[in-house]
Structure 1
């Protein structure tokens, strides 16, 4: 059984899409990042980077003790390899998938996250954010262009096969409008986006945990401030005494 320590964000939904596509049984263990579950001692023992998701495979192929993996890209490689699906094992195809997996983790995810962050900032409270908004909105536009140009030449990101490279990128594109983008600017990306969005497993994976998340904007101002301070003003956790 796969235990997925999860909260319904794009990084969590990458993994639930894959689990649904594989038809692999799994159990959701909620990690309420708005309440600080990611900083609890038992979670830090699984992921010292205090970020979800974390996967625990209680029945690994080698028959040994449970395997604990953090970082969504590593989790997806493990699950796909175990299932024997969506991750080709010939060297050329595998590394083509790896390229896009790492591209997503190093580029699309961080830059889209910063774009969303600065576009949400209350400028009355924190001052003019024009430079940051323009910087990251333009960078996200550049990344959509990278996807669009790739998908002009190929049906999927790693070629003609639907793989974890597609699954890892998709959840970060569903909020294209909030990211300040116009999907009509990227017709080849739009074709891919609509094709993936119509897949039943993608729809199921994206819906996982929809009953967990809370609209922060509807919380009292003091609670919103507490969550912002906890999530956006983190500094190093000291080594235990």
Structure 2
């Protein structure tokens, strides 16, 4: 059996889905290793040799003999390697980079904190109403920025679906899990609909594990929420 070029280490998180979306959309074969947070596999010495930050995702590009960590850098590497989902025009490529960095520098951190304080800290005895309001309000503001950007356009950068959309989608689309409202944001919601309709994306959201609670408020599951809070309880200790 021919060994694939790409070995992906990931988990069912918003960052973790990003490279899966690219690989499924591009039809690139890859090997997959699920990183178990409950067993702290992301902190294991062998994994830290690949990703010194002890987070996911990470890829090993066997053809190049090196590891790449950080989800935005992984998407950039894959887009350049396979020559897809990244415009050739310099201005459009710059737009992709701007919106990719907007995701990794703003949308991900703010929505991640909204999720953390509501889904991990509060259930583990650290209810912080000010922090929750701060991060939910800022997440809503950032989604408004996206809505404005998407007025009259289908995609975030240039005239095509790119890694900027792939990076943004798992975070912005997880607004139910962050308990952020998207009412009054029709352009953003239309963008969600366009990406929701892509079969490769829907397949990617089942790899490595489907988490419908992230994307659909109707799928809210108390047992899943409790299990999630317990799994990350070590992060909520004083």
TM-score with structure 1 length normalisation? 0.86
Q: Does the 8 Å CA contact 1:15/1:76 hold for their aligned counterparts?
A: yes
The separation in 2 between residues aligned to 1:124 and 1:179, in whole angstroms, is 17
Mark the structure with the bigger radius of gyration: 1
Q: Does the 8 Å CA contact 1:53/1:70 hold for their aligned counterparts?
A: yes
Match of 2:233 in 1: 228
The separation in 2 between residues aligned to 1:168 and 1:73, in whole angstroms, is 7
Q: CA RMSD in A?
A: 2.3
The separation in 2 between residues aligned to 1:233 and 1:161, in whole angstroms, is 44
Which shows bigger deviation, 110-119 or 175-184? 175-184
Q: Does 1:5 align with 2:9?
A: yes
Distance 1:173 1:48, change over 3 A: same
Q: Matched residue pairs, number?
A: 223
The separation in 1 between residues aligned to 2:31 and 2:84, in whole angstroms, is 20
The separation in 2 between residues aligned to 1:216 and 1:32, in whole angstroms, is 17
Name the SS of the counterpart of 1:207 in structure 2: coil
Equivalent residues in 2 for 1:1-241, closer than 5 Å:
1=4, 2-60=6-64, 66-120=65-119, 121-122=121-122, 125-126=125-126, 128-210=127-209, 215=224, 217-218=226-227, 224=230, 227-229=232-234, 231-232=235-236
Q: Does the 8 Å CA contact 1:5/1:53 hold for their aligned counterparts?
A: yes
- Deviation, structure 1 residue 204: 1.0
1:131-173 CA-partner distances (Å, limit 9, x unpaired): 0011000000001101000000421100311100000000012
1:37-68 CA-partner distances (Å, limit 9, x unpaired): 011000111111111100001124xxxxx121
Q: Does the 8 Å CA contact 1:148/1:187 hold for their aligned counterparts?
A: yes
Which shows bigger deviation, 74-83 or 171-180? 171-180
1:103-128 CA-partner distances (Å, limit 9, x unpaired): 100001010000011112337832x5
Match of 1:238 in 2: none
Unaligned runs of 5+ in 2: 212-222
The separation in 1 between residues aligned to 2:197 and 2:63, in whole angstroms, is 32
TM-score with structure 2 length normalisation? 0.87
Name the SS of the counterpart of 1:76 in structure 2: helix
Name the SS of the counterpart of 2:117 in structure 1: helix
Distance 1:141 1:19, change over 3 A: same
Q: Does the 8 Å CA contact 1:123/1:129 hold for their aligned counterparts?
A: no
Name the SS of the counterpart of 1:177 in structure 2: helix
The separation in 2 between residues aligned to 1:117 and 1:92, in whole angstroms, is 36
